[in-house]
Amino acid sequence: MSTRVTKKMVTPFEMCRATGAVLLVNLYDPQVPTLQLFLEAVERAHLPLLIVGNKLDLVDQARVHTVQRELGQEFPVMSLLTGENVPWVAAEIERRFPEGSRIVILGIFNSGKTSLIAKLTGKSLRIGDLPGTTLEFEEHEWNGRVLIDSVGQVIDVNRPFMVGYDFTGCATPEEMFEKALRLEAEGILSSLVTAKEGFLRALALIQERVRNGGRIVTTGAGASALVAEEIAGQCYETGVPCLCLTNNMAQALPVSFAKGTGEEEGGLARFIADQVTEKDVLIGISASGGTGFVYEAVRLAREKGALTVAITENLDTPLGKYAQVVIKSNAKPEGPSSTRIQTAHLAIGHALVCILAALRGVTAEDSIRYMLPEKIATKKMGIK
């Protein structure tokens, strides 16, 4: 049987001793591939299931139908914020799951799992829009039942190295290599639909800012910092002034890839925003959408009148809310690794800079000239 665990967690899915499951769908940012993994886990555990769509206040009926079609199922919808249809959902949970049931509440980050439990139980629970607000299984009594809160990311610990690639069925390094590259390519291709609208809008707005003398500032942490650096480098190769500011090479160093050291530093956000004028563009890159100094820098820069663009996997997050334009990837259905997201974000960054250069009429000769060394005389070593 599949054993699902959450990011930064060691509690297996089965240890919840659940006898039923409610899967919440974030209608605003559904992330259907990840929802399908939750459905697979519930099916393998042979649990009775109720699917409910949340955040009806943020979408229209056309969006609801689209999500239902992509998931391949019809399900009731509600808004925990406005209370619409919540009483019906509560009654349906009571009807489907008898007293004594242990009901695990599943869903991606920010789908409303803790909010639903708080609404039903009347408890004051810790709720926020940062991915990872809930990082452990928590049990709450309700009407003779137990509601089990969970977190929004799943991996299968029975599959080989499930934190980055699913190497199930691969017997040799050659097969693993081929599968890894295919998965990276799939991460890019699966982002085509979700990223296109935001990409084209961002491209047009950035083109206008650059034409009027503005520059591009990029920022990110860890793997996203590398994407920010790559975008900045390509900007200079095509003649666009660009500044890259990250938490790398500070107190974080390489540990930022695993631990996110330095991401809570508000002073860094202010420093980044200080470099941005109302003519400029700030591109904030964060796989989770919850990197502290990145979304705060975007918020501060937007207040100054700068154009703010987010490149992220998660739309319903602080970064997604503070940016004027969001380019959303769709590269990682499961696991805490950001390998496929980073590849997708690199591809998006490359496309953004290169298309911008093409629209500006930059030629190959121009680009080579931008890349040539510019030597200036300097003192000899040892001369003070």
pLDDT band at 103 (very low <50, low <70, confident <90, very high): very high
Tell me what pLDDT residue 6 has: 35
Same domain, yes or no, for 151 and 194? no
Of 96, 123, 156, the residue that ends a domain is 156
Residue 260 pLDDT > 60, yes or no?
A: no
Q: Specify whether the CB–CB gap between 103 and 146 falls below 8 A.
A: yes
Residue 118 pLDDT > 90, yes or no?
A: yes
Tell me what pLDDT residue 3 has: 39
Q: What is the pLDDT of residues 296-348, one digit of tens each?
A: 999 999 999 999 999 999 999 999 999 999 999 998 765 556 688 999 999 99
> Two tokens at 154?
């799943």
Q: Specify whether the CB–CB gap between 348 and 327 falls below 8 A.
A: yes
Same domain, yes or no, for 199 and 307? yes
Tell me what pLDDT residue 10 has: 35
Of 121, 156, 191, the residue that ends a domain is 156
Residue 257 pLDDT > 70, yes or no?
A: no
Higher pLDDT, 267 or 49: 49
Tell me what pLDDT residue 1 has: 29
Q: ∠ CA(358), CA(309), CA(53), 5° rounding?
A: 120
Same domain, yes or no, for 116 and 185? no
Same domain, yes or no, for 203 and 55? no
> Two tokens at 25?
């769908």
Same domain, yes or no, for 137 and 277? no
Q: How many Å apart are CA 249 and CA 253, to the nearest integer?
A: 5
Which three-class secondary structure state does DSSP give residue 20? strand
Same domain, yes or no, for 17 and 62? yes
Q: Which CATH number goes with the domain that contains 258?
A: 3.40.50.10490
Same domain, yes or no, for 189 and 321? yes
Other CB atoms within 10 Å distance of the CB of residue 267: 8
Q: How many Å apart are CA 289 and CA 112, to the nearest integer?
A: 17
Which three-class secondary structure state does DSSP give residue 327? strand
Whether residue 114 lies inside any domain: the answer is: yes
Cα dist. 289→24, 37, 68, 248 in Å?
Answer: 20, 21, 25, 18
**Domain hosting residue 77, numbered range:** 4-156
Q: How many Å apart are CA 22 and CA 116, to the nearest integer?
A: 10
Same domain, yes or no, for 113 and 193? no
Q: Which CATH number goes with the domain that contains 94?
A: 3.40.50.300
Whether residue 171 lies inside any domain: the answer is: no
Same domain, yes or no, for 151 and 220? no
Of 139, 156, 173, the residue that ends a domain is 156
Q: Specify whether the CB–CB gap between 314 and 347 falls below 8 A.
A: no
pLDDT band at 87 (very low <50, low <70, confident <90, very high): very high
Same domain, yes or no, for 8 and 108? yes
